[in-house]
Amino acid sequence: MLETAGLSRTFGGLRAVDGVSFAVREGEIMGLIGPNGAGKTTLFNLITGFLQPTAGRVRFRGEDITRWSPDRVTARGMARTFQNIRLFRGMAALDNVVVGGHVQTGATLFDAVLGTPRHRREEREIRARAVELLALVGLADRAAVPARSLAYGDQRRVEIARALATGPRLLLLDEPAAGMNTAETQALMGLIRRLRDDHGLTVLLIEHDMKLVMGLCDRIVVLNFGRTIAEGAPDQVRRDPQVIEAYLGAHTARPREARPGTSGPPVLAVDRVTAGYAAGDVLHDVSLDVGAGQIVTLIGANGAGKTTLLRTISGLVRPRRGTIRLRGTPAGGMSPDRVVGLGVAHVPEGRQVLARMTVLDNLRAGAYARRDADAVGWRGGAIAQDADALLARFPELRARRRQVAGTLSGGEQQMLAIARGLMARPTLLMLDEPSLGLAPRIVERIFGIVREVNADGISILLVEQNAQLALETADRGYVLETGRIVRQDRADRLLGDEAVRRAYLG
């Protein structure tokens, strides 16, 4: 049904998808998995025409569709959903699905203006079809609700109904279960099975929820650093050592010896915090401490709520319940700039350096909230000195200090993001996925920096996909699963723990 041969795509120097060849057979449900940044969504975009490959071919239903535009691909019988839901937000749920009927109809503007029978018949048909499809995904009673007002899980299902309205033979689902609760995920699995069994669809899906992938898929392809590292039945893939390593990380550093517990109040104390977004709570009763001088890591699968917890501590998300204390000061619901003032530096996922500013200006921006007396001076105050000191620590950045940050490599951007965080002279540094999309050698360097920074007395809260490496670096670890802390212990005891493996691979 679908076949790729040597499909590749580079972004600048990064090989996002690197010679991927695989095939989806008619009537099967195939899973596409891999750690964050492995290139899964890029591969979807290459197949559906949203991105042009730099090399390789795509064949679909016996036709070479390489470099076709997305609308042609859809017309040929391939429909997709998007990772970060792209509904027509202002339209009602039903109207979203009706738009999906576009390629199934052909009435022209003249038909509509003149009200020809063709226009009227088609309108009747696609409305009826849209009503059926909404009922199929279980949203018949939400038809008139504007898409933007629907709950997150409902939005995902409207997207599926909309994709089905294009009359596809192959359905590509990008993280269909993201943001769904357990019951919704169960219902979704039933739906996908019915689409295959009753409607004869072939399904290719990207998903991080391993229960879904392992329970639903006939075969699975695993991607890491843009390459396929395994392909086969769920049980086979789950036991593949390369897959386990891709997800949990390999043994790279030697486990650190346990350090004595710290005295005095913790730098950060999160107590029974519940928080989330308009669509629903992501965190439930989460409690977590970071002691002075400690490295604490928070691990868990994608969508577990790790980033949301960091954002809540930073003041970007308001906690609905519970308290957050920073060195004893209540900080729950405080604005982000005041949290920074209390000595918290947040290095966000995906670095988020100020791409159009130079390295030096990025560092200066990191010191924006500082109010120390000698921060600025006639010939460089403390801020300038700190910037010099950091550039000395990061020779890679020193060489590029006048370069615009957007032109740095991923690893350099990650270093810059950390250095920028340090410019605020924090007592607590929060790192969100610092190893994301970086080659092992660079990851090693970044984690070396984390240990160095910690040796200077700065406490660290580390969110990391690479659980192995994170646990080898940290003093203590917390395992987060669907918004709840399911396990906490000394990091060396969590290493090799079954709960950790389950949290990632199901």
Partner 1 sequence: MTAVTGFYAAYSTLILFSGVAALLALSIYVTLMAGQLSLGNAALAAIGGYTAAILTKTYHTALWPALFAGAALATAVAVLIGIPCLRLRGIYLAIATLAFGEVVRVAALNLPITGGALGLVGIAPLVSFRHVYGTLAVAAVFFYRLERSRTGRALAAIREDEAAAQAMGIRITAYKVLAFAIAGWLAGLAGGLAVHFTYLINPAQASFGEAVTILTYAVFGGTGTFAGPIFGAVTLTVLPEALRFLKEYRLLLDGAILVLVTTYLPNGVLHPVLGGRVAAAARRLARGRGSPQREMRRA
Q: Which residues bind partner 1 (CB under 8 A)?
A: 48, 50, 69-72, 74-75, 79-80, 82, 86-91, 95, 98-100, 102-103, 105, 107-109, 111-113, 115, 119, 122-123, 149, 162-163, 165-166, 278
Going by the DSSP 8-state scheme, the letter that residue 92 receives in this structure is B
| Nearer Cβ to partner 1 (55/143) | 143
| Least distance from partner 1 to the Cβ atom of residue 109, Å | 5
User: Cα(341)–Cα(15) distance, rounded to whole angstroms?
Assistant: 39
What distance, in Å, lies between the first and last C-alpha atoms of the chain? 29
How many Cα atoms sit within 13 Å of 404 on the Cβ side? 5
Measured from the CB of residue 104, what is the shortest distance to partner 1 in angstroms? 9
Cα–Cα dist 341/410, whole Å: 28
Element housing 384 (H / E): helix 382-393
DSSP label of 254: P
Least distance to partner 1, CB of residue 283, Å: 20
DSSP secondary-structure letter at 208? S
Beta strands (DSSP E) in 386-458 are 428-432
Nearer to partner 1, 122 or 209 (CB): 122
Task: Tell me how far, at minimum, the Cβ of 195 lies from partner 1, in Å.
Answer: 17
Cβ 170 to partner 1 shortest distance, Å: 13
Nearest distance from C-beta of residue 506 to partner 1, angstroms:
29
Q: Pick the closer one to partner 1 by CB: 112 or 229.
A: 112
Compute the distance between CA of residue 50 and CA of residue 179 in angstroms, rounded to an integer. 24
Tally of CA atoms within 13 A in the half-sphere of 79 that contains its CB: 20
Residues counted in the chain? 506
Tell me the closest approach of the beta carbon of residue 80 to partner 1, in angstroms.
6
Contact between 204 and 169 (Cβ < 8 Å) = no
| Shortest CB 330 distance to partner 1, Å | 24
Nearer to partner 1, 111 or 497 (CB): 111
Which residue's CB is nearer to partner 1, number 63 or number 71? 71
Nearer to partner 1, 103 or 375 (CB): 103
Contact status, residue 298 vs residue 466, Cβ threshold 8 Å: no
User: Which of 195, 176, 221, 202 lies closest to 43 in space, CA to CA?
Assistant: 221
Q: What is the 3-state secondary structure (H, E, C) of 426-440?
A: CCEEEEECCCCCCCH
Phi-psi region at 245: left, alpha or beta (left = phi > 0; alpha = psi -120 to 50) = alpha
- DSSP state, 182? H
Toward partner 1, which CB reaches closer, 89 or 356? 89
Q: Specify the pairing of strand 280-290 against strand 428-432.
A: unpaired
Q: How far is the CB of 162 from partner 1 (least distance, A)?
A: 7
Instruction: Indicate the residue among 163 and 213 with the shorter CB distance to partner 1.
Output: 163
Q: Return the number of the residue (183 or 278) whose C-beta is nearest partner 1.
A: 278
Cα–Cα distance list, 462 to 166, 345, 423 (Å): 44, 12, 18
